[in-house]
A and B are shown apart, each in its own frame.
Chain A
């Protein structure tokens, strides 16, 4: 639409004559996008981007749509005709326009007044699982046919469902999806990281854009699946994604950039594809042949253009079998094959670095950084990796010093030296998530303290005192048509869902009942939405699993510097026990910890030993130093 219409002087002349045209970056202003997208869905029954809204000078919309061609074609009105018609109506039918704008406005203002009639129960988790079962693709993994989106929070929900019920189908869905995605073209086999989504059922031809939040959420899904299965291949994928983010998407100050475009030199995917001649030129004959066989490269190209369906001679490197299967087939031992492929990858990578890169969106968004920090912090403790831990710490330092104002409130975006735009609920919820993960990795009490401060700030400015739940915007934010409130988990989980999980964890960490009371209210507020569409609210259901299920507090008391402690922590961190919080008490922090979690004064510190208390809702078992006992207690 941009090139077709907005760079066209005829369309521009019509638009400039009729409209004051406003362009919004939805990533900068998700609050605006949120409201007008809801309107588009209300009016047309569907939504999407580009989103086109026509509204009166007092921001009341009377027309909505998505893409419009330049000229009217196949019954789809074009920009030129649309602009002329609206211009004429504005003169001849102004009363009608105003009436309709008023009606639409009042409809959107009523959307959020609903409150749930019941509570969310375990039933919703079973229903969500049933919905996923029906849509699961048994051959290629993922859900539905095409396009296929990663939606990693659906997978982490299924892991919890497997843990809760022992239903192996749930784990199978996760494993087949994640292993197929890693094999497919949706993964960048040369530079690592995942593209936005697959246009086809097989995960072959992606939309090549790379988003920070996908890297964050997928790192989390792979690392949790590693915990659940102890299959090291999933840990490797998490490390690969992290390598990409730290290499290409990290600012000198430690913040993470937002995205890389799909296209370069005007062509989608150009940066990422190869033809056979290039491969043969870069690699020696043996390596070229190995790469061509392993990654399914062919002379005609291994995919067809999405719109023309023609072969292009270009190839998206992808695997049809796992590396171990390939090793067996070509009679090479696996470590040798892996090392040869890695060597090849590095050669291709350095050649690719000289190509024109896709445009990098280098704005730093607080919410997405929170997701990435959370994923890094969790990966760091599971993999026992200091470098990853330091990246998480550095980024959190950046957020807390640069994106937080002296009054303690967050801002949303940093770019080119300018930090600006009031934070939404996502900024708070995702940074708190990052802080909680970082606390569990480092046991640095400041992270927990800051998480509580931010949660209190969020409660003060975002909580709906009448119906419960958090509004998307603060009560002193720019006044838009309405304050929206959403729980649906889309490409990223909703601020409300993540907050629900945060509140439950903060409640257990501090024994402050206020946090759980808010969570309980949220379960009522959103019950109808979640019960009606459970597979669309899987992050919320992860909290339900925590609240209803077998969740624990682990209080570790002792000296963290002795070798014994490190070994035990590593074992604890490697296990898949999502429904727990962990506190660490030692000589140095006992006073400060008592302020945050008063109940910890009951546990005595000894200098030369390490003791675990496993508690369920603050009812504790006898202390133990045996990790086997700890894991048993946590799993029972």
Chain B
């Protein structure tokens, strides 16, 4: 079960690699180079796709208990 404390909803985004076509990778790289950029909980994953989103400001969780 997903632990819920002060938050109440769960959102799932399944995004295939297909959908990444329009994303701006150069810009993303700049974001990643920024040392102040936070990481979210995807940073410990192995999936290249999830790792690509480990520096989003959205506080992503991986699927899990």
Q: How far is the CB of A235 from chain B (nearest CB, A)?
A: 30
Mask of B34-57 contacts with A, CB within 8 angstroms, 1/0: 000000001000111110110011
Residues of B1-50 whose CB lies within 8 A of A: 1-2, 4, 7-28, 31, 42, 46-50
CA distance in complex: A263, B61 (Å)? 26
Closest CB-CB distance, B60 to chain A, in whole Å? 5
Q: Is the CB of B57 within 8 A of A50?
A: no
Complexed CA–CA distance, A23 and B1 (Å) = 16
B49 touches A27 (CB 8 A): yes
CB proximity to B under 8 Å, residues A1-43: 1-3, 6-9, 11-13, 15-29, 32-33, 36-37
Contact between B23 and A3 (Cβ–Cβ < 8 Å)? yes
Nearest-neighbour CB distance to chain A for B53, whole angstroms, equals: 6
Please judge, given known A-B contacts A59-B10, A266-B27, whether A23 and B62 are in contact too, CB under 8 Å: yes
* Nearest CB of chain A from residue B65's CB, rounded to whole Å: 9
Which residues in A have their C-beta under 8 angstroms from that of B53? Answer: 2, 6, 23
B49 touches A7 (CB 8 A): no
Nearest chain B CB to A413's CB is how many angstroms away?
8
Complex contacts, B15 vs chain A, CB 8 Å? 1-2, 23, 26, 49-51
Considering the complex, give the chain B residue whose CB is closest to the CB of A66: B19
Q: Which residues of A contact B52 (CB under 8 A)?
A: 359
Beta-carbon contacts of A523-552 to B below 8 Å, as 1s and 0s?
000000000000000000000000000000
Contact B23 A24 (CB under 8 A): no
Partner of A21, one of B21, B22, B27, B58: B58
Question: How many residues on B have C-beta within 8 angstroms of the other chain's C-beta atoms?
Answer: 42
Stretch of A161-169, A320-328, A414-422, A436-444 lying at the B interface: A414-422
Chain A residues with Cβ below 8 Å from B20 are 2, 261-263
Q: Decide yes or no: A24 and B46 within 8 Å by CB, A3-B24, A263-B20, A266-B23 being known contacts.
A: no
Given A2-B15, A90-B9, also A418-B46 (CB < 8 A) = yes
Q: Which residue of B10, B46, B60 is within 8 Å of A415 (Cβ)? A: B46
Contact B11 A52 (CB under 8 A): yes
Q: Give Cα distance in the complex from A20 to B8, angstroms.
A: 7
Chain A residues closer than 8 Å to B22, beta-carbon distance: 3, 263, 268
Minimum CB–CB distance from A163 to chain B (whole Å) comes to 34
> Are the CB atoms of A55 and B10 closer together than 8 Å?
yes
Tell me, in angstroms, the Cα distance from A367 to B58 when the chains sit together: 31
Is A511 part of the contact surface with B, judged by Cβ < 8 Å? no
Q: State whether A416 and B46 are in contact (beta carbons under 8 Å apart), knowing that A7-B57, A12-B57, A18-B9 are contacts in the complex.
A: yes
B residues near A207, Cβ cutoff 8 Å: 18, 21
Q: Considering only CB atoms, which chain B residue lies closest to A87 in the complex? A: B9
Tell whether, in the assembled complex, residue B63 and residue A29 are in contact, meaning their CB atoms are under 8 Å apart.
Answer: yes
Are A362 and B63 CB-contacts (below 8 A) given A3-B24, A58-B1, A196-B18? no
**Interface status of A86 (Cβ within 8 A of chain B):** yes
10 contacts between A and B (CB under 8 A): A15-B58, A16-B59, A19-B9, A22-B62, A49-B15, A50-B13, A51-B13, A57-B1, A266-B25, A363-B48
Q: Which 3 A-B pairs have the closest CB atoms?
A: A12-B57, A50-B15, A49-B16
List 20 additional contacts besides A52-B11, A59-B10, A413-B47; criterion CB under 8 Å.
A3-B22, A3-B24, A6-B58, A16-B59, A20-B61, A21-B61, A23-B13, A27-B17, A27-B49, A36-B12, A49-B16, A53-B13, A54-B9, A55-B9, A57-B2, A57-B4, A59-B2, A262-B21, A268-B21, A361-B17
